[in-house]
Amino acid sequence: MGAIRILTIAVTIVVVAVPEGLPLAVTLTLAYSMKKMMRDKALVRRLSSCETMGSATTICSDKTGTLTLNKMTVVEAYFAGTKLDPCDDVSQMSDSAASLIIEGIAQNTTGTVFLPEDGGAAELTGSPTEKAILSWGLKIGMDFDDVRTKSSVIHVFPFNSEKKRGAVAVQLDDGVHIHWKGAAEIVLSSCKSWLSVDGSVQSMSAEKHDEFKRSIEDMGANSLRCVAFAYCSFDIEKIPMEDITSWELPEDDLTLLGIIGIKDPCRPGVRDAVRLCTTAGVKVRMVTGDNIETAKAIALECGILDANSVISEPVVIEGKVFREMSESARGEAADKIIVMGRSSPNDKLLLVQALKRKGHVVAVTGDGTNDAPALHEADIGLSMGISGTEVAKESSDIIILDDDFTSVVKVVRWGRSVYANIQKFIQFQLTVNVAALVINVVAAVSSGDVPLNAVELLWVNLIMDTLGALALATEPPTDNLMKRNPVGRREPLVTNIMWRNLFVQALYQVAILLIFDFDGVRILRLQNESRSDAEKITNTFIFNTFVFCQIFNEFNARKPEEKNVFKGVTKNHLFMGIIGITTVFQILIIQFLGKFFKIVRLGWRLWLVSVAIGLVSWPLAYVGKFIPVPVRPLPDYFKPRCCWKPPRRDEEEGGQS
């Protein structure tokens, strides 16, 4: 029997020492958050990404459709050297000039126009940019079907995200026209002439080139996306028919037809969302294919750039400049970059890699197939549910169902909640483990017996692992989560604040319960009882008090850093329900399950003392939070001094959640 008793005590101590409830708590909080995030328009594809998003230090966001509404409208036009009202037709221009412009709009597009027979509004298909251009074409008198029947497409150079332009060669009765369309400054650089109002072709002088360039810059400064149209005539007889499929369309000697400015308004609430990210220590970076002036203007409008700060390279940089840097130079520039314009998908990938090498936890938004490498490389890939391709969605961790940047910020909030809830449970569980372990070990060494037997500790483990995990894992996110810095990669899961709270509560529980274990008969005035009965009453009292210490300490675990641990507690109905269920079951165990637990019933006086001792943990937790904690993580004090590095950023007390 002695050997069995020793083995039972050993197993009991081991069960208490191992925090086996942590995987359950992590899974519960991830699953709960994933379900709640669906309401905030975020579909989680990889469960672990919920927690990772809470540690994000930077978000590399697309502009179009994410920061903006992706509802594009032509609001400015500059054709034949003349600024036009977008709502007017091109009647002031010659027929030849107008027909060339309309031909370029109708033929060099991936969109279509359908006119209902009942005379209703035209139905447009294609990308938002294509639809905006086609809609403007209809306003200036374009008959889409008629234009396309008058000429036939013989070769297409699809829009290329690297070259930022696309072209089409069309056969007409009098020859071949090659129409180019794309990023205004890139198309302009290939133009050697421009089309005037009377339809004549004028040489592109340096002064006229600068005039067009200023127009592009002015449009960009007004947050307009600039698209240019150009064309050239070509003698198709120079190209053998069998070589048409591999024909490289001429792109160097073009005639500029005109430039349009497309407005894509910022999404409502984006500015507030960016401000919230900044407060939370998460830097938002815009990575877009638009020209640098447009990108800068939108970034200022969204609050990503501060109008009062210095806006120069590398804060605002072109993708080509970043791409041509050496790896070490890219690493130095990456931290400073806020806006990257005229970027290709490969530039986005290079930026993500550079930021990760600098120690950032990087989240990336993307919607195109070409964004897949960057989405896969990032710590958290966020694809767009509406405009995103299937390839982008497959490469991402989370799908933003409404394509809205404000939903990305909600994901960050929930991610931080996941991390914070895991920390709350760890603090709660470690407090129980340390207290129970020390009490049983000290009692076993001193008297050869333990006040908390195996069955009692199984019940405590049930409170701690299952019910405790469920209660703390379902804590909803609070506003305070977005007022602290992100955790980052290398910071410890158990913070100094948690160690302080743990030691304060565990020390109190160990001290008070060991006092009752050693001198409980006298303190509880049980001298008139037989030795066996007095011992049973004392052990039952210790067990009951220990459980109530955990019940009251569960409130403390809700708010590891805040002095008011009751804030919002009544709104968490599951937490209150679990506390109520635990209390009811504890009463039933003490009063009616004595034989199974090897305990006895307690009188009302001992019940009051048990509850009072547990209740002390509340004021104790309040007072304990006045104890300052160092910034340096506790485990680092046990390492050589040379191994510790100061934190990367200023932190509040304790440094993290």
Mean pLDDT, residues 139-152 taken together: 87
236: DSSP letter: G
pLDDT at 651: 41
13-34 pLDDT per residue, tens: 676 666 667 787 888 888 888 8
Long-range contacts (CB closer than 8 Å, 24 or more residues apart) made by 300-307? 300/223, 301/223, 301/266, 301/271, 302/67, 302/266, 302/270, 302/271, 302/274, 303/270, 303/271, 303/274, 303/275, 303/278, 304/67, 304/274, 304/338, 304/339, 305/338, 305/339
156-173 pLDDT per residue, tens: 888 877 788 999 999 888
Mean pLDDT, residues 605-625 taken together: 93
Nearest to 263 by CA among 69, 110, 80: 69
96-127 pLDDT per residue, tens: 888 888 999 999 998 999 988 777 788 898 88
**Which amino acid, 548?**
F
Q: How far is CA 272 from CA 269, 303, 435, in A?
A: 5, 8, 45
**Which amino acid, 642?**
C
Nearest to 41 by CA among 472, 361, 382: 382
Q: Do residue 377 and residue 455 come from a single domain? A: no
Q: Do residue 363 and residue 456 come from a single domain? A: no
**Residue 47: inside a domain, yes or no?**
no
Q: Do residues 55 and 419 make contact, with C-beta atoms less than 8 angstroms apart?
A: yes
Domain end (from 403, 428, 448): 403
> Which distant-in-sequence residues (6+ apart) come within 8 Å of 235 by Cβ?
175, 176
> Which distant-in-sequence residues (6+ apart) come within 8 Å of 170 by Cβ?
103, 107, 151, 152, 153, 154, 176, 177, 178, 179
**DSSP states of 302-347 as a string?**
HTSS-TTS---TTTEEEHHHHHTS-HHHHHHHHTT--EEES--HHH
pLDDT band at residue 647 under the 50/70/90 scheme: low
Q: Do residue 187 and residue 234 come from a single domain? A: yes
Q: Do residues 180 and 190 make contact, with C-beta atoms less than 8 angstroms apart?
A: yes
Q: Do residues 76 and 224 make contact, with C-beta atoms less than 8 angstroms apart?
A: yes
pLDDT at 90: 65
Q: Do residue 301 and residue 438 come from a single domain? A: no
Sign, CA torsion 68/69/73/75: negative
Of 322-331, 392-401, 418-427, 471-480, where does mean pLDDT reach its minimum? 471-480
- Provide Rg for the chain, Cα atoms: 35
Beta-bridge mates of residue 466: none
397-420 pLDDT per residue, tens: 999 998 889 999 999 999 899 889
pLDDT at 243: 67
Give φ, ψ of 143 to 5 degrees: -105, 100
**Residue 277: inside a domain, yes or no?**
yes
Q: Do residue 583 and residue 451 come from a single domain? A: yes
Of 275-279, 338-342, 549-553, 596-600, where does mean pLDDT reach its minimum? 596-600
Q: Do residue 150 and residue 243 come from a single domain? A: yes
pLDDT band at residue 650 under the 50/70/90 scheme: very low
Q: Do residue 531 and residue 549 come from a single domain? A: yes
Burial (Cβ within 10 Å: 0-12, 13-18, ≥19) of residue 237: exposed
Q: Do residue 150 and residue 92 come from a single domain? A: yes
Of 144-148, 206-210, 374-378, 456-460, where does mean pLDDT reach its minimum? 456-460
pLDDT at 545: 93
Structural domain count, the chain: 3
Tokens describing residue 360: 């950032």
Q: Do residue 427 and residue 356 come from a single domain? A: no
User: Does residue 587 have a pLDDT over 80?
Assistant: yes
Q: Do residue 332 and residue 436 come from a single domain? A: no
User: Is 347 a residue of the active site?
Assistant: no
Mean pLDDT, residues 514-528 taken together: 84
Tokens describing residue 41: 């328009």
**Residue 22: inside a domain, yes or no?**
yes
pLDDT band at residue 655 under the 50/70/90 scheme: very low
Q: Of 40, 62, 95, 367, which is the active-site residue?
A: 62
> Which distant-in-sequence residues (6+ apart) come within 8 Å of 630 by Cβ?
496
Which structural domain, as residue segments, surrounds residue 626?
Answer: 3-41+414-479+491-637
Taking the C-alpha atoms of residue 137 and residue 321, their distance in angstroms, rounded to an integer, is: 35
Q: Do residue 20 and residue 156 come from a single domain? A: no
Q: In this structure, what CATH number is given to the domain that contains residue 222?
A: 3.40.1110.10
pLDDT at 618: 93
Q: Do residues 543 and 586 make contact, with C-beta atoms less than 8 angstroms apart?
A: no
